[in-house]
Structure 1
């Protein structure tokens, strides 16, 4: 990921790097001018040195400004590019893969990990400038005395070895903290989504706070603290070696030599000047390592997401003349049996202007069959045939444009995402009034004025969205489960017949047995198998609502 971002912005990065190098070089040249003034004999004219000092100072300032601005642009650009890249991979991933990976990992990649990779470009100028200053100081030191320079290289080598060993250990802990952070995001979501349950059960609330959320927070804290502490220890070790080297030079390496005062002054100045950049360099490197860990984590998540086949063009909903499921089957883990659950093989066909009810007990495979039907799951055997042509990976996204669906775990966007027009707003508001929501919400410029509604009311708004999408095939997964009897009646007796009259194909997953007689077909499922396909005559209406098992 880091390599991709660097390649993509290589020209801007090169300009920013050159500005950083120029800033570091000017800083080292400032050091030489300072040392020249301090070592100059009394009465020497230093006006030329003053002009050079001023020129180098201005050049260092301008170069640092340019470097900082360019790297800030790189940072923000990298952050935006990462978010676009991850979002695109999420939207291109197979739905089943996305379910397996889970939302918290994706949220972590979009927020924390992408921010840390972007931080790399902010810390990079500090790394580059300080590295140039340290390197320039070493070169100046070699010019003053090659013996002292060799000793300095030995000391820096020892410091680098200690830093490298600490780095290897620290990266492991930071990687573990990064993975635990993904789980922590899932707990944060539970903290909000499970607010009702936590407030109704104090013991559960305490265990969640202590054993789940608290434990995860503590694991992240411990791993990050240990990892960053190793970096801090390595920095302290480097500083100790620098000061030990200063003492070695001052009291042992520089003996009674000509120009001893000038050499001692030069070395003391170089050491003092180099300590701060060296410390800054060692402190900035952990941020780069964190970016490396986060970049690797983003790589891992996006690789797990994979990529589906061809992508359909916008507004490319195909026509529906016939649709058949020919021996399709799907296997997945079933919590109820703690084993792999096999759905199918299923043989079904659908035609325009047909209302089909799909019924069965909980866990019988109804929703999974619906997800296979609409193309969210890929069948592991068999074929889906649309208008006489089998759907493959390349055409699956185009096939999905045939459907609008409201699943039980639906999401309601705050706007239609189908463009805006006064006619669309008027049509939507008429549907909102029909569903008795006109006093709570309106459609304005293609957006809902609020989504702060009950679950049943949000489902009614989702129904408005489905109507306005005007797709050939509509799927409703337990839509009426959260509705009052009045709106159940409107849904089954008014809206579904209206959709049928408009030539729509409709699949309704339902437990409302008092309305079964209104279906053109009634498909019953048990343990992943279709056990019966009844006609309305075989599904006589009942006066009172009862359980599906009783009717069966």
Structure 2
């Protein structure tokens, strides 16, 4: 089972420690029952100190063993979840963009958050269920020693009820997989509402359609969960009913056919009443175990999937590239998008052009013209399906892509602005002040502790300026800007094209900008226009300096 596979790979405490603690806890429970049962039928004229001492000792053993077992379980399970999450994050960081896009964020987040929480919440319940099984076994031994007929009846009833319950385990697993799939669709819908809030707010038909899609997924998940919980309740009632019937047979029917002493019958009935609690716990734990096992199955599958993606680059010796370059050459480069069924959806290229060091290049084109795909090819997030990218005559290969990507600082159209300056040394406060003045962010944001902004709750244009500030701190040779100026006011847009870009060019930066601001095309050295995934025009505006 997937849950056992996770435990086997991640639990560090030896198995015999769990077994010993579980046995001590279970045995102490049964000994408490035995002491009370044996003492209840004895007329005592004075306090039996020996029995009281034994009772206290058993209680002490229970407290120590139960607390130790639950603490170790909690520590091991949470450590396992921590290791799993970090392993998943590490695999994600080493994977390539395209396969991650095919997996989808909802499935990854569901695995890292929902499934790990499910296992965490189920851990103590499952430990108690294991203890309950031990208690049932020991209690049955006690019944066997007192009344073999009751033992045979009890064993038959318990086995029959457990068989009926376990028969539904496979169907529970299938139902839970459906629940998880529908919840993933629900996460997709919620992400659409949150990330596309403005678009949803602006269109009543779109809002109705999005909410209807969410309602479909939520309704399916609700219905399956109701059926699942109903079946779990039915199985719990079944096990309790079977136990009541068993008690009735032992107390009312068995004495009519078999000779049973009154004291033995009383002790047997007390034992069966004692078993009812652990048996109910085991019954309730079965759907919880099914849920945890389904979550573990999802986690194992996601872990293997992400590891297979990361394995494509693991163990590879990365090669460096020269710190400076003269040109980047796209030599008959093309790329094809495919869906999850490997059906071709859209092709860009072939591209044949060169980008020279120090160029200011504008890339234009309508929606769907292939600008974003070309950008991802250019910065090394996508690999060419055909053709080759060269940097100073050296063809890029898998072992040089990391070094190649490190030459770029990119602000994507859907960029993520980090509040902390990850991967950067603490900048000189004077440099921060100069950049804030240049980008007109004075009084808008401050750097705390040397590497954390006090806020990123700014207007859209100011957030992009703050992202550009971080880009300038990175000080990489190539700056790529995807529709950066689109959210700037007219004043700062003019400043960007007429002041910032020339200043960056004077510093020797190569600038590649996706833009639609045709009134400022004269500030570029070169403009490439795309149509339907191909270069429609490639015009150099100025002679090389």
Q: State the TM-score, normalized to the length of structure 1.
A: 0.89
Contact 2:31–2:58 (CA<8 Å) still a contact in 1? yes
Q: Give deviations 1:514-547, integer Å, cap 9, x for gaps.
A: 2222222222222111233221159xxxxxxxxx
In the TM superposition, 1:117-516 aligns within 5 A as 117-202=119-204, 204-209=206-211, 211-254=212-255, 260-305=261-306, 306-307=309-310, 308-310=312-314, 319-321=323-325, 322-332=327-337, 340-421=345-426, 423=428, 425-444=429-448, 445-516=450-521
Distance (Å, rounded) in 1 between the aligned partners of 2:408 and 2:427? 25
In structure 1, how many angstroms separate the alpha carbons of the residues matched to 2:370 and 2:91?
28
The CA deviation string for residues 354-409 of structure 1, in whole angstroms up to 9 with x for no partner, is 22222222211111011011111121122222344332233323322121111111
1:69-117 deviation line (CA, Å, top 9, x unaligned): 2222223223322322222222222111222222222222222111112
2:479 aligns to what SS in structure 1? strand
Q: Partner of 1:50 in structure 2?
A: 52
Offset at 1:166? 2.4
- Is the 1:239–1:279 contact (alpha carbons within 8 Å) kept by the matching residues of 2? yes
Structure-2 separation of matches of 1:133 and 1:395: 61
CA spacing shift, 1:288–1:398, aligned 2, 3 Å: farther
Is residue 24–residue 133 contact of structure 1 (8 Å, CA) maintained in 2? yes
Native 8 Å contact 2:408 2:480 kept in 1: yes
Contact residue 525 and residue 542 of structure 2 kept, 8 A: no
Q: Distance in 2 between matches of 1:318 and 1:228?
A: 63
The SS at the match of 1:119 is helix
Is this contact kept in 1: 2:478–2:509, CA < 8 A? Answer: yes
| Displacement after TM superposition at 1:163 (Å) | 0.5
Q: Residue 508 of structure 1: CA displacement?
A: 1.3
Cα separation, 1, equivalents of 2:41 and 2:228: 45
How far apart are the structure 2 equivalents of 1:117 and 1:318?
48
Q: Structure 1: which 5+ residue stretches go unaligned?
A: 539-552
The 3 A distance-change label for structure 1 pair 151 and 386 is farther
Aligned CA distance change for structure 1 residues 448 and 290 (closer, same or farther; 3 Å)? same
Does the 8 Å CA contact 1:523/1:532 hold for their aligned counterparts?
yes
Counterparts of 1:536-547 in structure 2 under 5 Å?
Answer: 536-537=541-542
Q: CA 1:360–1:419 in structure 2 vs 1: closer, same or farther (change >3 Å)?
A: closer
CA distance in 2, matches of 1:155, 1:352: 82
3-state SS of paired residue (1:10): coil
Alpha-carbon RMSD across the aligned residues, in angstroms, is 2.8
Q: Distance in 2 between matches of 1:5 and 1:270?
A: 34
Q: What's the counterpart of residue 73 of structure 1? A: 75
Deviations 1:502-521 (A, max 9, x none): 22222111111122222222
Structure 1 pair 117/426, CA: closer, same or farther in 2 (3 Å)? Answer: farther
Q: TM-score, normalised by structure 2?
A: 0.90
Provide the C-alpha distance between the structure 1 equivalents of 2:505 and 2:16, rounded to a whole number of angstroms: 63
Local SS of the residue matching 1:11: coil
Which ranges in structure 2 are unaligned for 5 or more consecutive residues? none
Distance 1:164 1:111, change over 3 A: same
| 1:480, distance to aligned residue in structure 2 (A) | 1.0
Deviation at 1:410, TM superposition (A): 0.8
Instruction: State the distance in 1 between where 2:256 and 2:57 align.
Output: 36
* Partners of 1:476 and 1:508 within 8 A in 2: yes
How far off its partner does 1:466 sit? 0.8
Structure 2 distance, partners of 1:387, 1:115, is 50
Match of 1:356, SS state, is: strand
Q: Could you tell me how far apart the structure 2 residues matched to 1:219 and 1:13 are?
A: 40
Aligned length: 534
Q: Tell me, in whole angstroms, the C-alpha distance in 1 between the residues paired with 2:322 and 2:94.
A: 20
Q: Is contact 1:310-1:395 (8 Å) kept?
A: no
